[in-house]
Structures are given as C-alpha cells and as structure tokens.
Amino acid sequence: MRRPVIAGNWKMNILPSELEAYFSAYASTVSEQCADFVDKVVAPPTSHLFIAQSIASKLGVIISSQNVHWEDSGAFTGEVSSKMLLDLGIQYAIIGHSERRQFFGETNRTVGGRVANAMKANLIPIICIGETEEERESGLTEKILVGQLESFLNECEGQGDFIIAYEPVWAIGTGKSATAETAQETHELIRSKLSETLGRNVADRTRILYGGSVKPSNLKEYLEQNDIDGGLVGGASLKGDTFAQMVNIAGEGLLN
Ligand code: PEP
C-alpha cells in the first residue's frame, strides 16, 4: 500500500504576508484523522520557503521547493541548490514542471542533472513528465514519456525515494482534465517502465501522482485507480481550505 501524496504547486502565486491566512484556513478545514494517512506537501515560491517551513511544520505539512539546481553552488543566478534547501530543512523539490520546460528552457538533460543532484543529496524530487496535446494526438504519448523517464531513472538507481508526477501538458491549468481511465492507463505504463529499469520493488513503492486540473470534485475518481497515488495540484491548491478538502478526500478512503 503506497501512502497517498497531495501536493500543491503554488507556482508564482500567494504573497509571504498571506501565508498565515492560508495555513489557518487549512488548519480549520483539515480533519486530523484523515490527514494522518496522507503526505501533505505544499510548494511555495523560493522567497517564501523559510517562513512557510516555520508555519507549516507545526501543522504536519511538508514544504517543497519548486526547483533545484544540478550543482551545489556557483555562478547560477536565480537558482537554488539542494544544499541550501536542506540547510533550511526543506526535503522535497519539484523538478521538470512543464512550465519550466516551456518557458525556461528546461530539457530532459537538465532535468536529469537536477534529479541526480537531488538524489545524491537525499532530497526527495517530485519529477514531472507529460505529453503535449499535439504529441498525444499524433500517437506519441508513450515515446515522449519513455524518453522523459529515461532521462532521469538511472540517476535514481540505488538511491532513496522519489515521486513521479504525470501531468499531461494539455490538462494543466486548462480545466480539461484527463479521464481517470486515461490517467490510469498512463500511470500503468509509467510503473511498468519503472519496473523494467529499476526493478519490481522500486516500481511497487514509488508514488506516481496525477496532475492536470485536479480539484476536490474529481480527486476521488483518480485516487480510486490502482496506479494513481495522489495529485500534484496547481490552481485548486491556492486556497488553504480547498487544499485541506483534498487532503480529507485522500485520507477518507483509508479510514476503515
Ligand atoms: C500544476 O501546476 O502542476 C497543475 C497541475 O496545475 P493545475 O492543477 O492548475 O492544472
């Protein structure tokens, strides 16, 4: 049984001065009983990490970075390293989000480097993969996903935990979510590639999240699928109470 993860990606949203209100809305909505069964992760912008960590740690919410560099230090303006994150007590980092790939020149090669550095440092990466609409329509989904997986899976061999987020690009921020069946089929493909490359044990224990217009009203149907272990959520994670509702939904299924 894999422990579900509900991860909120805030992107470039929410002010540092709004953090207290966010987490107090979260705390007043979350059910402690449900939350016990779930890994709750929130990824604010880098500028908020220190203060967010001090508030969220009291609520059992894990703070994640939205990125991490492939070097430990150096002349890389605007970047953050795994050593810096760990020094702050941050143990998770999103890597390879499609917005990084689309707007900031992220490639499979740079994703591989970031994953390698994170894994060596014992940071848990949430590694994003996903096809565009044109790629899906041209029947290229499997080829694209396998290429993305091959760019980093070797870096995970013999290392600690990592999380994969399958996020079809056409479903991110568009309101057009993949059906639960389509998501399940793709997650199954990802898990079988994991098994082929890193062995059955790693494939069985690795959490694979679905991302793409997930919200409280559709989360349950994704979580009911065998190979979907949680959600990476953008828009619907921007309110503390809505994020808490999704944590409650993920935990409710495990209460009995
Ligand atoms: C995301 O940012 O990773 C995401 C899935 O966004 P949204 O939930 O808004 O589609």
Say if residues 235 and 170 touch (Cβ distance below 8 Å): no
Closest ligand 1 atom to the C-alpha of 98? 3
- What is d(CA 181, CA 169) in angstroms, rounded to the nearest whole number? 17
Structure tokens, 134: 């044109």
Give the number of domains in the chain: 1
Closest ligand 1 atom to the C-alpha of 213? 10
Per-residue pLDDT reduced to its tens digit, 225-247: 999 999 999 999 999 999 999 99
Over 80: is that where the pLDDT of 15 sits?
yes
Residue 97 designated active-site: yes
Residue 74 CA to ligand 1 center (angstroms) comes to 31
- What is d(CA 27, CA 244) in angstroms, rounded to the nearest whole number? 8
Residue 232 CA to ligand 1 center (angstroms) comes to 7
The CATH number that applies at residue 186 is 3.20.20.70
Residue 96 CA to ligand 1 center (angstroms) comes to 13
What is the pTM (predicted TM-score) of this model? 0.97
Of all protein residues, the one whose alpha carbon is nearest to atom 1 of ligand 1 is 234
Say if residues 240 and 22 touch (Cβ distance below 8 Å): yes
Its domain, for residue 86, covers 5-255
pLDDT band at 132 (very low <50, low <70, confident <90, very high): very high
Say if residues 225 and 189 touch (Cβ distance below 8 Å): no
pLDDT at 173: 86
Beta-bridge partners for 163 = 126, 207
Q: What angle do CA 45, 186, 249 make, to 5 degrees?
A: 60
Residue 171 CA to ligand 1 center (angstroms) comes to 8
Nearest to 89 by CA among 36, 45, 49, 47: 49
* Active-site position among 99, 131, 167, 187: 167
Nearest to 3 by CA among 124, 102, 135: 124
Beta-bridge partners for 62 = 41
- What is d(CA 74, CA 91) in angstroms, rounded to the nearest whole number? 21
pLDDT at 1: 85
pLDDT at 205: 97
Place of tokens 């495990």: 254
Give the three-state DSSP class for 166.
strand
- What is d(CA 127, CA 97) in angstroms, rounded to the nearest whole number? 7
pLDDT band at 255 (very low <50, low <70, confident <90, very high): confident
Per-residue pLDDT reduced to its tens digit, 86-107: 999 999 999 999 999 999 999 9
Based on C-alpha coordinates, what's the Rg of the chain?
17
User: What distance lies between CA 35 and its chain's CA centroid?
Assistant: 18
Over 80: is that where the pLDDT of 256 sits?
no
Mutate to test the pocket of ligand 1, among 100, 214, 246 (most ligand atoms within 8 A of CB): 214
- What is d(CA 194, CA 173) in angstroms, rounded to the nearest whole number? 27
Which residues contact ligand 1 via a Cβ below 6 A? 9, 11, 167, 172-173, 211-214, 232-236
pLDDT at 40: 98
